[in-house]
Amino acid sequence: MSEIISKRNALLAETVIKGLKSRNMTGWYAETREEALAKALELIPEGSSVTMGGAVSAHEIGLVQALKEGNYRFIDRDAVADKRAAMLAAYDADVFLSGVNAMTSDGILVNIDGNANRVSAIAQGPRKVIFIAGMNKVCGADLDGAMKRARNVAAPVNAQRFGLSTPCTKTGTCMDCKSPDTICCQFLITRFSRHADRIHVILVNDNLGF
Ligand code: SF4
């Protein structure tokens, strides 16, 4: 990141963190991926059971590898045969990791899901939810802008990533489809956390995820 963009990101992160605080959520700012990794590990006590939804950003900062190699009970959905059991175990996990499809500068989080395992675990179940969010996910203050990002950037890229047969994989933008392959089945807007210290957002001075 150039110095000038880093300066803007640091200022914007202050605004986002204030917005999160007003919503009973906690925000952290990391200048680098390494700082973000250190903060995430500080928030996850050793011995914790940890699982995740779609979280490319958690991979990109090295968090998933660190959890697999460290003293944690990491539930790896991709490595077990019984996917349903792993999904259900997520609701009882100590920590759930997630990326963010988009967020407002006022701290509202937007996530879209096909199977809904990710958005349902964000909404309730795991004792702590940690989002890893590159500053590229932060939109303006209005929710409409964040919804547009989630639908027109994050979802089409994810549809490409999974090789789905949806209109957006041909046009690059959302066509509001009802295709059987659609990944846009459930939309979760997290505007407040009922439980203090449950939702943490680590903002990273970098472009992460989609
Ligand atoms: S609604 Fe359909 S076209 Fe739009 S992003 Fe989702 S999968 Fe793609």
The model carries a pTM of 0.96
What pLDDT score was predicted for residue 132? Answer: 98
Q: Candidates 113, 148, 151: which one to mutate for ligand 1, based on the most atoms within 8 Å of Cβ?
A: 151
| CA 144 to centroid of ligand 1, rounded, Å | 17
Lowest mean pLDDT across 48-62, 78-92, 98-112, 127-141: 78-92
| CA 102 to centroid of ligand 1, rounded, Å | 16
Q: Candidates 147, 168, 187: which one to mutate for ligand 1, based on the most atoms within 8 Å of Cβ?
A: 168
* Intra-chain end-to-end CA distance of the chain, in Å: 17
DSSP string, 54-115: S-HHHHHTTHHHHHHHSSSEE--GGG-S-HHHHHHHHTT-SEEEE--SEE-TTS-EEEEESS
| CA 51 to centroid of ligand 1, rounded, Å | 26
Q: Whose alpha carbon is nearest atom 1 of ligand 1?
A: 176
What pLDDT score was predicted for residue 163? Answer: 95
Indicate whether residue 154 lines ligand 1 (CB < 6 A): no
Q: Please state which architecture CATH assigns to domain 3-145+186-204.
A: 3-Layer(aba) Sandwich (3.40)
What pLDDT score was predicted for residue 82? Answer: 86
What pLDDT score was predicted for residue 53? Answer: 86
pLDDT in tens, 112-139: 999 999 999 999 999 999 999 999 999 9
The domains of the chain are located at 3-145+186-204
Q: Whose alpha carbon is nearest atom 6 of ligand 1?
A: 184
Q: Whose alpha carbon is nearest atom 5 of ligand 1?
A: 174
Q: Whose alpha carbon is nearest atom 7 of ligand 1?
A: 182
